[in-house]
Amino acid sequence: MSDKSIDPRLNVIDTRLEKIKKIIAVASGKGGVGKSLVSSVLALLLSRRGKRVGLLDLDFTNPSTHLILGAESTYPLEDKGVVPPKISGFEYVSIIFFTGDRPSPLRGPDVTNAFIEILALTRWSNLDYLVIDTPPGLGDALLDLINLIKNLNFLIVSTPSRLSLGTVKKLVSLLKEVNGSVLGVIENMKTDFSPSIKGDIEAMGVRYLGSIPFDPAIEDALGKPEELLETRFGKSLSSIADIL
């Protein structure tokens, strides 16, 4: 493709997303803080409240929402694009549909192209919410999302650790520079001994949405959506979902 050629996919993305009222990108900067769990359970919670919901797993190198939701054998229909299948009452798309459980070693430009392709192809219905599980990091993938999707609302997940908090500060700073909308920060994996990060978050000028306790029971509930909702994790996130 030459520099002067026209990429028709870029014009299609806005059309594909125009019937969605609110797009929530769950981001963290750092990996391993529970972003995919928050994305998956948030989609479940919103759907249980009668909202029309979609969940898009854009963590191409390490997708995991299909494992959290027990959606390993779900496949989309191809009809003038990709028609998302419904799982647990909401529409769902993941790169896993196309890669299976194989590793997908994509570099930056390949990730960009795959993002564009999946956004241009997916035919979401009229949705109240599209929840996007984003890849960790502050690089290509995040910048691509900001460039490709208008009206993104970032929901940031952190742990109480200073290591996570440091990355969140950079993420918030970056999002402010690009005029990204930040819904707030969820503090995940909080223990009785964790110093609260509420003050640090509010000092960044960002809303502290609440905390979710460290919940060892979550491991046994993986793959079982109804059980996920009954965990302390699910119940705490439910209170946070009320204010989103």
Retrieve residue 195's tokens.
């110093």
Distance (Å, rounded) from C-alpha 244 to C-alpha 238? 10
Q: How far is the CB of 62 from another protein (least distance, A)?
A: 13
Count other C-beta atoms under 10 Å from residue 177's C-beta: 8
Out of 73, 79, 102, 126, name the contact with another protein by CB under 8 A: 102
Chain positions 173 to 202 lying near another protein, rule: CB under 8 A, are none
Can residue 93 be called a binding residue for another protein (CB under 8 A)?
Answer: no
The answer to whether the CB of 68 falls within 8 A of the CB of 228 is yes
**What is the amino acid identity at position 94?**
S
Q: Which one of the spans 24-32, 111-119, 148-156, 188-196 is the region binding another protein (CB under 8 A)?
A: 111-119
Among 113, 161, 194, 238, binds another protein (CB under 8 A): 113
Strand stretches in 159-224, DSSP E: 181-190, 208-213
104 binds another protein (CB under 8 A): yes
Choice from 3, 15, 50, 78 touching another protein (CB under 8 A): 78
Q: Binding residue for another protein (CB under 8 A) from 23, 44, 111, 131?
A: 111
Which residue stretch of 32-40, 84-92, 113-121, 172-180 sits at the interface with another protein (rule: CB under 8 A)? 113-121
Question: Nearest distance from residue 8's CB to another protein, in Å?
Answer: 6
Smaller CB distance to another protein: residue 41 or 95?
95
Residue 38 near residue 26, CB atoms below 8 Å:
yes
Q: How far is the CB of 29 from another protein (least distance, A)?
A: 24
Residue 26 C-beta: closest distance to another protein, Å: 22
Residue 13: which residues within 8 A CB-CB, separation 6 or more? 116, 119, 120, 148, 149
CA distance 30 to 27: 8
DSSP-derived 3-state class of residue 107:
coil
**b/e burial code for range 130-164 (CB count within 10 A of at least 16 → b):** bbbbbbbbbebbbebbbebbeebbbbbbbbbeeeb
* 125: Cβ contacts below 8 Å, ≥ 6 apart: 19, 52, 54, 91
Told to check if 99 binds another protein by CB under 8 A, we report yes
Q: Which is nearer to another protein, 2 or 15 (CB)?
A: 2
Task: Assess 114 for contact with another protein (CB under 8 A).
Answer: yes
Q: Which lies closer to another protein via its Cβ, residue 98 or residue 214?
A: 98
Q: What is the largest CA-CA distance in the chain?
A: 58
* Residues that bind another protein in the complex, under the rule CB under 8 A: 1-2, 5-9, 78, 82, 95, 97-100, 102-107, 110-111, 113-114, 117-118, 121
